[in-house]
Amino acid sequence: MKQLYNAHVLVVDDQQVNLDLVMDLLTLEGYQNIELLNDPLQLSAGDYKTALSRTERTAGCDVDGSE
């Protein structure tokens, strides 16, 4: 189970409050590599790999990467 905490987790939702909640829950459970997207269009037409290749989000960071 420990190796799952290092897995890349991608969460997509158009509601910031949902992203914040999921981020908090995953962080509390020990997950570290969390990518948050609030624009579902970023995943359309093959942008999925682009989204995953961005800088990893960690606890304390907002969707835009600010702390």
The predicted model gives 4-30 an average pLDDT of 91
Q: Are 1 and 30 in contact (CB under 8 A)?
A: no
User: Hey, is 28 helix, strand or coil?
Assistant: helix
Model confidence, pTM: 0.60
Instruction: Find, among 49, 58, 63, 56, the residue nearest to 30 by Cα.
Output: 58
Give the per-residue pLDDT at 62: 45
**10 vs 60: which has the higher pLDDT:** 10
Distance CA 51, CA 28 (A): 23
Interval 21-54: pLDDT, tens: 999 999 999 999 898 888 877 777 556 655 555 5
**H-helix or E-strand spanning residue 48:** helix 48-52
| Phi, psi angle pair for 52, to nearest 5° | -75, -25
